[in-house]
Structure 1
């Protein structure tokens, strides 16, 4: 694969950081769910905040890992058609996928940021925090995806069977 800005040291550090934070959120999510299950079966009821915290943490983890997983080709996608069509058509398809990803990620970041600001006055029932706090993981995740896609450029993404797609 040809070198792209996506492989620059600052972006690689950002990718590692986002994956580490997402992993930490998943571990905390697991602990919160285990606490909720144990409390439900041992004490007869779980605090309401355990379900809410688990929901917010899983959404945050997924959104923070979104860009890094996309750029590594680790998301679920079928790349069969890219290998079966002629090289020029494959390049056009890569451009189309890249532009579509950019438009959707930028749009998702914009609209979810607007939504997060609109719910800032409301508090979550279980945790008692502003709803904007957990919802901000959505625009941050979409912004990271847009940044990763922009830096990757319209190059084919790696697939599970090949690390180096033809470009």
Structure 2
């Protein structure tokens, strides 16, 4: 039976990737609508570009934690492979603490920033800038949450699958 942390991570991963994938599909639909309107109907509404930009930022940030846990982000793991096991564990602890610290700090700073732009409205959508900017603290908080539950364990190595 999987541990509590494995179940929490699995559920969190599925939810974040599902929401991020849904935002990405919606983004694709908005972009295609904008292209259709611009080149076939004669003019696209101004909100399509702005909404597409916010959706892509939101989808990337929501998926960041799951990608980090899977080891799917860009990193060079050569040093990890060459170090002896005790030093490798120390490096894993350092990487985990660094990721956790940066994610928590980014959550706090981006939350303060999102609240500070509440008096401004977006040009195309006409909503408070706080609404789309909340994707930043939510994404970073989700990364911190998933990193916290993952712990200082080594990240998975991406493997090439046979096609």
Moved over 3 A (4+): 3-6
1:22-33 equivalence runs, <5 A: 22-33=20-31
Note the C-alpha offset of 1:11. 3.5
Q: Which runs of 5+ in 2 are unaligned?
A: none
Note the C-alpha offset of 1:161. 2.5
- Which residue in 2 is equivalent to 1:39? 37
The C-alpha deviation readout for 1:22-75, integer Å capped at 9, x for no partner, is 000000000010111111111222111000000000000001111111111121
Aligned-partner Cα distance in 1 for 2:80–2:141: 27
- Which residue in 2 is equivalent to 1:124? 122
Aligned-partner Cα distance in 1 for 2:5–2:66: 10
Conservation of the 8 A alpha-carbon contact between 1:67 and 1:149 = yes
Aligned-partner Cα distance in 2 for 1:5–1:79: 28
Q: Against the structure 1 CA distance between its residues 103 and 91, is the aligned structure 2 distance closer, same or farther, given a 3 Å change threshold?
A: same
- Which residue in 1 is equivalent to 2:67? 69
Q: Against the structure 1 CA distance between its residues 16 and 157, is the aligned structure 2 distance closer, same or farther, given a 3 Å change threshold?
A: same
Aligned-partner Cα distance in 2 for 1:55–1:140: 17
Note the C-alpha offset of 1:6. 3.7
Conservation of the 8 A alpha-carbon contact between 1:5 and 1:151 = no
Aligned-partner Cα distance in 2 for 1:76–1:137: 22
Aligned-partner Cα distance in 2 for 1:124–1:77: 35
The C-alpha deviation readout for 1:97-147, integer Å capped at 9, x for no partner, is 001001100000000000000011211110111111111011011001111
- Which residue in 1 is equivalent to 2:147? 149
Q: For 1:55, which of 46, 53, 56 is the aligned residue?
A: 53
Does residue 80 of structure 2 align to residue 98 of structure 1?
no
Q: CA RMSD in A?
A: 1.5
Aligned-partner Cα distance in 1 for 2:107–2:141: 5
In the alignment of these two chains, the number of paired residues is 159
